[in-house]
């Protein structure tokens, strides 16, 4: 018969005898602070990964731009999206890395870095999935609906996709910071949003719309589900609670309790 069953619960912590109840508050404070420090470390770590990822992304498209410029922009012709050409369908994954001119890449680099960082800082692996989805939706929109066999390249579809993802993530996950960040940065780059209007010459608004739709869908697909801990949420100390394996911790009992000595002995035995 387990006499300690009414007074102990299973958590992954070493046993504490009842006599040490005077030091219990300080130990409890230490336990409560540890997850917060761990959560902060995870947030900083993910933000650092996101920062270096986007720095590498921007560096890559600029290196490709130099090569493309030196080759008279033949990469655009070879790896851009041509609507309704089944042989050029795989180019939906290469077109976002290419640009038509220096002005084109300069206009995209700033918002791409900012919105990409906002999309990636809560999880780099999830961000890669978002990028793949947005590349597919924006590229397919161009391939299916763009007219006159117009060659299309550029990272604008990704920019609109990241914007839609951050906004949808903030609304769906009820994260006010993400939603406000998306709105504020969207207003800061309002000139980018204006080119999503149909009829802007030389601009594929269909690609922008496809990217935006993909980003909104990604906000739902990659949402934080109930019971799932995000990168900034630490697990409670000692596991999941009552069914977890670990040592038993005796509930503190006052020295004047009639069974205080018995509980102390059981605690010393690890029961």
pLDDT number for residue 123: 87
Q: Percent of the chain at pLDDT above 90?
A: 44
Could you report the per-residue pLDDT of 48-98, keeping only the tens digit for each?
Answer: 999 999 999 999 999 999 999 999 999 999 999 999 999 999 999 999 999
Report if pTM > 0.95: no
pLDDT number for residue 10: 40
pLDDT number for residue 149: 80
Residues in the chain predicted with pLDDT less than 70, given as ranges, are 1-42, 191-202, 226-260, 262-263, 265-271
Could you report the per-residue pLDDT of 162-191, keeping only the tens digit for each?
Answer: 999 998 888 888 877 877 887 887 777 776
pLDDT number for residue 3: 43
CB proximity list for 65: less than 8 A, separation 6 or greater: 98, 99, 102, 105
């Amino acid at each position: 018969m387990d006499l300690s069953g009414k007074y102990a619960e299973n958590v992954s912590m070493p046993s504490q005898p009842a006599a040490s109840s005077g030091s219990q508050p300080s130990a409890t404070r230490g336990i409560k602070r540890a997850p917060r420090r761990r959560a902060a470390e995870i947030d900083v770590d993910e933000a650092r990964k996101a920062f270096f990822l986007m720095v590498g992304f921007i560096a890559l498209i600029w290196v490709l731009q130099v090569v493309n410029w030196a080759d008279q922009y033949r990469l655009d012709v070879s790896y851009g999206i041509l609507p309704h050409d089944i042989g050029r369908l795989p180019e939906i994954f290469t077109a976002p890395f290419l640009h038509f001119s220096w002005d084109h890449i300069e206009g995209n680099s700033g918002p791409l870095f900012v919105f990409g960082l906002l999309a990636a800082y809560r999880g780099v692996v999830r961000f890669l999935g978002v990028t793949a989805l947005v590349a597919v939706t924006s590229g397919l929109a161009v391939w299916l609906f763009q007219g006159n066999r117009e060659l299309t390249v550029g990272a604008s579809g990704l920019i609109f996709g990241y914007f839609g993802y951050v906004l949808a993530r903030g609304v769906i996950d009820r994260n006010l910071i993400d939603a406000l960040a998306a709105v504020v940065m969207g207003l800061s780059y309002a000139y980018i949003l204006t080119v999503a209007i149909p009829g802007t010459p030389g601009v594929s608004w269909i690609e922008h719309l496809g990217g935006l739709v993909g980003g909104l869908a990604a906000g739902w697909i990659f949402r934080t589900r109930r019971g799932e801990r995000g990168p900034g949420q630490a697990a409670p100390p000692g596991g999941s609670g009552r069914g977890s394996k670990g040592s038993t911790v005796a509930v503190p009992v006052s020295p004047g309790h009639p069974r205080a000595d018995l509980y102390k002995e059981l605690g010393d035995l690890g029961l």
